Structure 1
Amino acid sequence: FSYEFESGGRNWNEIDFDFSAGFDADLGGQILSEDFEFYVTFERKGGGEYNVGIEHERERFLEDFEILDGVIIPVGDYRHTRVFGGFSTPSSWRWGSRLKLSAGEYLGGQRQGIDLEMFWKPSSQWATRVSVNNDWNQLPGGDFETFVVNGALQWTPTTELLLTTDLQYDNLSEKVGINGRVRWTVKPGSNVYFVVNQSLTKMGPERRYESSGREAVAKVGWTWRF
């Protein structure tokens, strides 16, 4: 459910109210998970927005679950609530950022998180961004931190050709993933894609990064009009 209205103020363009709800159930009709979210978005004139919200989740575990090595979530019915807020600058800007902060209950304990993204567009052909997601978890079975960093570089030499490179690392698997994509638009609605994926994993007693997987995929999407 969503409702929006124009504020009529000098600084704000509109204010949006959003509510969503969802659930998962087994074949017997027993609820396994629920999710309710309500947030308010304030859109500034000229672009950019601020938002605040609250989320309530329910998760049922029918057997013990190991969320991380040595950290066990016992069988149970868990309900947790968190609050969040953040802002984002207009995507049309040459450089900008997006920030989201959250805190609240999580699986019988507590969780705090930060999600930050920064982008830079030095020209109409080049664009780059870096994002960081960091969560701190304090659970009855143990404390742990998750950290994911992602970077991307995009080059558009012509209106028909787009080249993108993504790099991602997370502290739990300590893996590095590299993704390269080429999209050639032959004509509107008809594209040729070529994708290369490379994974690097720490191996051996010296824990050096070595290739642990590589794949290449080509795909064609074509539109015929009659």
Structure 2
Amino acid sequence: MTPVLEFDRVGFAYERQPILSGISLSICAGECTALVGPNGNGKSTLARLALGLIQPTHGVIRLFGTQVHRFRHWSLIGYVPQQVAVAAALPISVEEVVRSGLAGQLRPLRRASSTQEERIEHVMDLMGLQQLRRRRFSQLSGGQQQRALISRSLVTTPRLLFLDEPTSGVDTEARTALRDSLEHLVSIEGLAVVYISHDPAGFEGLARRVLEVRDGHVRPAPGPPQVSSALGAVA
């Protein structure tokens, strides 16, 4: 099986200051990988490299077998950054936030197709947003807002999803709801998830692998692996 994401001896430096060095990493479909480590050690930089937002100093990055600088099928990639600005003053509903994920696929004045409408409904069901669809986004709790933003990234049916600190500032109930939804996406729909977090409670029982990013390198995190029974059989 071709990995959805490959890092082959990748390094990155910012203004000649090394940030990442010799990163080799492979992620396959139906796999959740958690990236942990102290702030400032390169977790978010690794995601930005994979998304083609910045270029490696050396090494090769591939998405679905294609080098990232030649990759064009960006609807296959979902990304929820650590902080997403949605103007609180705008009277935008939860459903409108979710639909905005299709903006790159729809021409002006074109309506979503029946397949896209079905996907919107499926994602909102999965993330527990149906009862909130008419609610103004600014009126939601932090956990509800995060689920809406993740839903927005899922409406294009991505095969690889990056989540940067998705449980930051949310309560235990919200973490559990998010984890349950992600487990369905990974184990049932075969989505590959890269979960960047300093919060072990957020990905406990979900991540097949926990990798630590520290001092420019990626290595297995110390301690027992966080593997759930639902994902333990994934190759």
Larger Rg: 1
The structure in which a higher percent of residues are helix is 2
More strand by share: 1
Relative contact order, higher structure (CA 8 A, sep 6+): 2
Fold match (TM-score > 0.5): no
